[in-house]
Amino acid sequence: MAGERRRRGGEGLRERTRERGARREREQQRGPGRGRTALLVTAAAAALALGLAAAAAEWNRWSAAARLVTPHPAPPALPPGSTGPLASPGRFWGTYRPHVYFGMKTRSPRALVTGLMWLQQGEGGGSLRHTCEQGDGLSRYGWVMHDGENFGVQEIRDGDLLLKTEFVKRPGGEHGGDWSWRVTARMEGKGSPAPLLSLFFYVATDGQGTLEPHLENKTRLAAVTGTSEELGDFTLTFLRPMVESGEDPKYASYNYLDAASPGLHRLTEVVRSSLSNRFVFAPRGKSRRRFFAVDAFRGLPGAAGEPPRGRLLLHQVTLEPPGTVEVTFESGSVADRPGRLAGGALSAALARHTAAFEQRFEETFGLGRKGFPPPQRRFAQAALSDMLGGMGYFHGRSLVQSPLQERPVPAPEAALFTAVPSRSFFPRGFLWDEGFHQLLLARWDPALSREVIAHWLDLMNAEGWIPREQILGEEARAKVPPEFLLQHSETANPPTLLLALQQLLPDAPLPYLQRLFPRLRAWYDWYNRTQAGPLPLTFRWRGRDPNPERFLNPKTLASGLDDYPRASHPSPEERHLDLRCWMALASRVLGEVAERLGEPAGPYREMERALSDNGLLEQLHWAQELGAFADYGNHSSAVGLRWQRLAPAAPGRPPPAPQLVREVRETPQPRFVGALGYVSLFPLLLQLLRPDSPRLPAVLATMRSERQLWTPFGLRSLARDSPLYMQRNTEHDPPYWRGPIWVNINYLALRALRGYAGADGPQRERAAEIYRELRHNLVANLYRQYTESGFLWEQYSDSTGRGQGCHPFAGWSALVVLVMAEDY
């Protein structure tokens, strides 16, 4: 048989050879042109295929770019018109300009704005105060009472000058009602005569609306009448100053300014450039003094030929403190007004609102019942009030970019009503901060919190992405360095809004949840699609710093923990523990919302169970050599920064400055990241660990170890024995999340410890003990630092407890109120 196969195979081979020879003969008879034609056809087909591939790639880029700036197609979470004066009159006007020391505006795209500036007169003119600046060196400013809607009281200390700014709103009409201000000034310390003080009250339009000044004696701006799209007709009246008791008139000099506005973000420049010292303060029977006052505005340098954006009218009052000035705003649509809200009527309204605020605060947080003395209760009231008084309404376009685009593009116009982390340094919306803010505000005013969450979800694009930082409008952009304006579409942020939503769920109206759910679902899907890790049920933050040689450890801004140590060499193989825990929380909350609405909850509950599986969690993230949970990635533990001298300079040129660059002294390899700190705690922080978990004792021991995370002031962010503890990331980047104490994570730790202390398990008593100590340490230190410095701070030193970073920081540091109330 084998011989027969060989014979038949030989005959077949000869037959195929004869066929190939005949084919070659026929092709030669056709001539050489036919062969070239075939080649041309083949080449054309290949070119067409390449062209189609290029066209497809270009289409994909165009489609991605279009979706980047296309709003999500679901109905808006916030019903159209719901923030206007008819649907929400109580919140139409507010102190929604957090970046200025005192000002009000409406929740409108092109709002009428009002504000205060002041100037302590001195040689050379002194310093004009307007926008909140750390460089101003004020020893205190902040709201001591603010209910988020009707009234507020703020105290400002600028050297020896003490200012109190108060406002009260009175409902009525169809445009948000009336409001009144009272500004009281006095000097602390000795010396007579007191330095002169100028108060500048202004009103400005932003692209729409009209203003008409009404003068007395050609120098005093007594009133402004005007009209705008959403306010209708209105009158703003500047009352004459009174002595501090408010009973007798106070001598003052008056000046006013009427100027074309180059934009709200440049109002300080307009006023400063208009000042002249040709004016004289001349009270009868007292010495005459020269002072600076607004004179004529001749335009800003470099702005010649630019069309005006609006109009600015400013009323300057110069007086010798003490003194009080009141301003009233009266809506033209208010009928049967009981009288002007000024003088005794304003004092009575302030007294009523103060009493109501204090009663509501105690009913909400119960600090008096818990035994806190009045000074600590006032501290807590100020923390809440500063967050409420720091809420802002923003309108504009984000600058966004996709990895498939060469250049950034503006996103669609959007509006955002949000709290802000810091009035001086971060007066804008931050996605992961906002979830923590709303944990507190949801306790004070659930309806307010629901509205803020809806505003954020309405920023979502067609892909389900929400930019992590919202820089909307010229006033917001003016406070941001250019390199931080751009938002990258692959960059996420922790979905902390779900922490607040989970708290709101039991009492949230079903129609509200129905409006939210399509966007929540799209957001959840976006995380799963874009932040997936290398293995099933793992996750990886995108957008780490792309130039690792510049950093001791490339930052992970998406995580919110910025410079917290991750794998030394970013790669697609990373597994980020904190993101996995956030996705477990997201699955849990989406499941709860779906069940409330009668929607299919199975997929969310299945993912929650998988991500909460303690065995799988240990397999993917337990680092035996650390005795802790950890990230995984391409990592070297032997890295450092060293000075590197550059090539010699050209002849006659100064030598280039040396640069601090990263030095890797050990080849990186796939391993667990040897950084013990906040990230290591996430399975506990979000309560994924079972109460009987064999890993819980080690996590609790890490928390309580003074060699690692425990301090007398709170939990530090990175263990003292970690390689990168308090290490700079670059020449210009001091340690940020590498040791200092952060209140938001300490709050999550207390929340979790309280949960473990109340659950059946072998660590119940240990968790309760650590909870009591940590709560005492955190509250005592924040209160002590507040009384000494006058501020809540961004972070606190793990060695001294002193506040550091930016201030005031009545963002998540205000969570101390919930810690005091033991409300988690």
Query: Cβ(699)–Cβ(677) under 8 Å?
Result: no
CA distance 687 to 683: 6
CA angle 781, 782, 785 (to 5 degrees): 85
CA distance 323 to 229: 36
Which of 455, 505, 419, 418 shows the shortest CA–CA distance to 82? Answer: 455
DSSP assignment of 1-66? -HHHHHHHHHHHHHHHHHHHHHHHHHHHHH-HHHHHHHHHHHHHHHHHHHHHHHHHHHHHHHHHHH
Which residue in the list 166, 475, 794, 798 is annotated as catalytic? 794
Which of 788, 768, 775 shows the shortest CA–CA distance to 815? Answer: 775
Q: How far is CA 348 from the centre of its chain?
A: 37
Residue type, 618: E
CA torsion through residues 709, 715, 720, 726, sign: positive
CA distance 512 to 516: 6
Is 794 among the catalytic positions?
A: yes
Structure tokens at 180: 């009144």
Query: What's the Cα-to-Cα distance from 83 to each of 80, 287, 327, rounded to whole Å?
Result: 8, 53, 25
Residue 542's CB is within 10 A of a number of other CB atoms, namely 18
Query: What's the Cα-to-Cα distance from 227 to each of 32, 109, 224, 308, rounded to whole Å?
Result: 86, 15, 10, 18
Residue 45's CB is within 10 A of a number of other CB atoms, namely 10
Strand pairing of 399-401 and 486-488? Answer: parallel
In 3-state terms, what secondary structure has residue 185? strand
| Side-chain-facing half-sphere of 478: CA atoms under 13 Å | 16
Q: What are phi and psi of 752, to 5 degrees?
A: -70, -45
Adjacency order of strands within the sheet including 409-410: 409-410, 399-401, 486-488
Which residue in the list 258, 474, 562, 822 is annotated as catalytic? 562
Is 562 among the catalytic positions?
A: yes
Structure tokens at 440: 């507190």
Structure tokens at 614: 């303690």
Positions marked active-site: 562, 794
